[in-house]
Every structure is written in structure tokens, then in C-alpha cells.
């Protein structure tokens, strides 16, 4: 393979790569899966399918590598799944919208997004597009308004800016407010320039994250929040016990000092 080539071939088992994203395809065999809250002899047979795993970085492609990735994704069938692993500072909204269109057209409810480890700007919006949204304890997300520029004749620039504002504001609102991730008030503040930064706890509270990976186990956001609450209580209890012990020791020392004085 030419060392200067822009992408890897699937045959080389290195994935299909563009400038900032890489696609790997894994064949998943048919398997039996238990059904939650059903008798032990009840099970669901998951048909064999392919898992399309895309590692997402910056949304700023300048070459044609991304075309090959989208073309491969369009070969998916009804049982195939899409997993987007996001570690992105953001970039071009229009590029992110191409992934959004792929999800709507091809994968629909078979999309999992993973915040590995952060998603800012367009990276945050793409994370919100998954049906199953997985984070880690130190994952981060940030929502803010878009940055835009235009040039040309005066009236053309004016109409371009107005159209972009209407289009992107509508898109941002559908992804964030319509799903309950930001309130209408927060969305208005975002349009005025405020950035919204969130860690794992806040993402779980808002429903932005549905699952969290903790020590090799993927648990629900609800269970993760319960664990944090228990940990906080345990820490508070331990602190109280330590304080009581310190007070007792202080009293004993004071009593001994008083006895020596007598």
C-alpha cells in the first residue's frame, strides 16, 4: 500500500480511515440473550449482524476519506449496529449532520454513542444522537452556540447569515431541548454565548447519558447516581466517625493532663 495514501483498506484489517475518523467492522455471530424479568427458559435469539464502530475525532475533513466511510456505512442491513466512539473538540456542523443523516436513514434505533472521553460542540451534539449513550466517570461534554462566517456581496452575506441562524438554531434545538437535555431558558442563554460544561453526574441527572462504564461493568445512569449517593453517605459517615474518634482522644488527653496537674 502507498505510504502516502489517505485511507486503509478493510482487507488489511486496519480499518477504513479518513483524516480524523476511522471505521472498523466486526462480525457478530448469532447468540441467545436472556429477557429481563422473564422466566429462565425464555430467551431472545439475536441474529448474526455486523457492528460498525467509528472512532470520531475532529469534524474538519478536507479530503475524500470520509466518503469511503459513509459509503461503507450505507451497506448496513436492518440488524447491523452503529457505534460512535467520540473524543472530539467539535468542528464543522455540516459534517456532523452527515452522521446524523446516516443514523436517521440507516441505523435509526441501532445506534450507540460512547463519550470516550469528551465531546465538545459538534461532538456533544453527535453524542446526543445515540439511542444508547454511554460515558465513563470522567467523561465531559460541552454545549455552545455555533461559530459562523460569510463573505461576498452585502445582501448575499446578510441572507446567508439569516438562513444559517434559522437552520442551525432549529437543528441544535431538536437535538438538545426536544430531548430534555437543555431547558428552553438554558438554550436561550446558549444562543447568547453561554457555554454549558457537564461531567458524568450532571449528564446522568439530565438523561444525556443512559449508561456508565465503571470498573469494566456497564451500568445504568440511575444505578450510577445511586452509587454516588451511597458513596457520599459512606464518606460522610466515615468522616463523622473519624471526628468522633478525634474528639474522644482529645477528651482523654485533656483528662490525663488534668490528673497529672492534680
Q: Is 92 exposed, middle or buried (0-12, 13-18, 19+ CB in 10 A)?
A: middle
Instruction: Indicate whether 3 belongs to any domain.
Output: no
Instruction: Indicate whether 14 belongs to any domain.
Output: yes
Residue 35, pLDDT score: 78
CA 112 to chain centre: 9
Instruction: Indicate whether 258 belongs to any domain.
Output: no
- CATH number, domain containing residue 184: 3.90.226.10
Q: What is the pTM of this model?
A: 0.80
Q: How many domains does the chain have?
A: 1
Residue 212, pLDDT score: 98
Tell me if residue 78 falls in helix, strand or coil.
coil
User: String of b and e for 99-117 (b: at least 16 CB within 10 Å)?
Assistant: bbebbeebbeebbbbbbbe
User: 41-50, 169-178, 196-205, 212-221: which has the minimum mean pLDDT?
Assistant: 41-50
State the residue for C-alpha cell 463523622.
Answer: 240
Query: What's the DSSP call for residue 83?
Result: E
CB atoms within 10 A of CB 235: 10
Helix 154-176 crosses helix 93-102 at what angle (to 10 degrees)? Answer: 50
Residue 32, pLDDT score: 80
- For the segment 195-221, the average pLDDT, to the nearest whole number, is 97
Residue 115, pLDDT score: 98
Instruction: Indicate whether 4 belongs to any domain.
Output: no
- Give dist(CA 108, CA 231) in Å, integer: 37
Domain that holds residue 42: 10-251
Query: What's the DSSP call for residue 107?
Result: I
Give yes or no for a cis peptide into 117 (omega within 30° of 0): yes
Most confident of 1-15, 51-65, 82-96, 234-248: 82-96
Instruction: Indicate whether 84 belongs to any domain.
Output: yes
Instruction: Indicate whether 261 belongs to any domain.
Output: no
- Give dist(CA 233, CA 147) in Å, integer: 43
Instruction: Indicate whether 262 belongs to any domain.
Output: no
- What backbone torsions phi and psi does residue 119 show, to the nearest 5 degrees? -140, 110
- Mind listing the pLDDT tens digit for each residue in 102-158? 999 999 899 999 999 999 999 999 999 999 999 999 999 999 999 888 888 888 988
Position 54 pLDDT exceeds 60: yes
- Mind listing the pLDDT tens digit for each residue in 147-162? 888 888 888 988 988 9
Instruction: Indicate whether 160 belongs to any domain.
Output: yes
Amino acid at each position: 500500500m502507498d505510504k502516502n495514501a489517505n485511507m486503509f483498506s478493510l482487507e488489511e484489517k486496519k480499518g477504513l480511515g479518513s483524516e480524523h475518523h476511522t471505521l472498523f467492522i466486526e462480525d457478530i455471530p448469532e447468540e441467545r440473550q436472556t429477557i429481563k424479568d422473564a422466566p429462565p427458559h425464555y430467551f431472545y435469539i439475536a441474529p448474526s449482524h455486523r457492528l460498525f464502530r467509528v472512532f470520531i475525532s475532529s469534524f474538519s475533513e478536507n479530503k475524500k476519506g470520509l466518503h469511503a466511510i459513509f459509503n461503507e456505512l450505507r451497506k448496513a442491513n436492518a440488524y447491523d449496529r452503529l457505534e460512535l466512539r467520540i473524543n472530539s473538540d467539535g468542528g464543522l456542523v455540516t459534517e456532523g449532520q452527515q452522521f446524523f443523516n446516516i443514523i436517521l436513514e440507516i441505523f435509526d434505533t441501532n445506534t450507540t454513542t460512547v463519550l470516550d472521553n469528551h465531546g465538545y460542540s459538534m461532538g456533544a451534539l453527535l453524542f446526543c444522537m445515540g439511542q444508547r449513550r454511554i460515558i465513563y466517570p470522567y467523561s465531559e461534554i460541552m454545549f455552545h452556540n455555533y461559530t459562523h462566517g460569510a463573505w461576498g456581496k452585502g445582501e448575499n452575506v446578510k441572507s446567508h447569515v439569516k438562513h444559517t441562524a434559522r437552520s442551525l438554531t432549529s437543528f441544535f434545538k431538536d437535538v438538545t431541548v426536544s430531548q430534555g437535555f437543555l431547558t428552553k431558558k438554558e438554550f436561550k442563554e446558549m444562543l447568547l454565548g453561554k457555554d454549558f460544561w457537564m461531567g458524568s453526574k450532571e449528564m446522568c441527572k439530565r438523561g444525556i447519558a443512559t449508561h456508565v462504564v465503571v470498573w469494566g461493568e456497564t451500568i445504568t445512569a440511575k444505578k450510577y447516581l445511586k452509587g454516588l449517593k451511597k458513596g457520599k453517605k459512606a464518606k460522610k459517615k466515615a468522616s463523622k466517625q473519624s471526628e468522633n474518634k478525634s474528639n474522644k482522644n482529645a477528651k482523654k488527653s485533656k483528662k490525663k493532663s488534668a490528673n497529672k496537674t492534680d
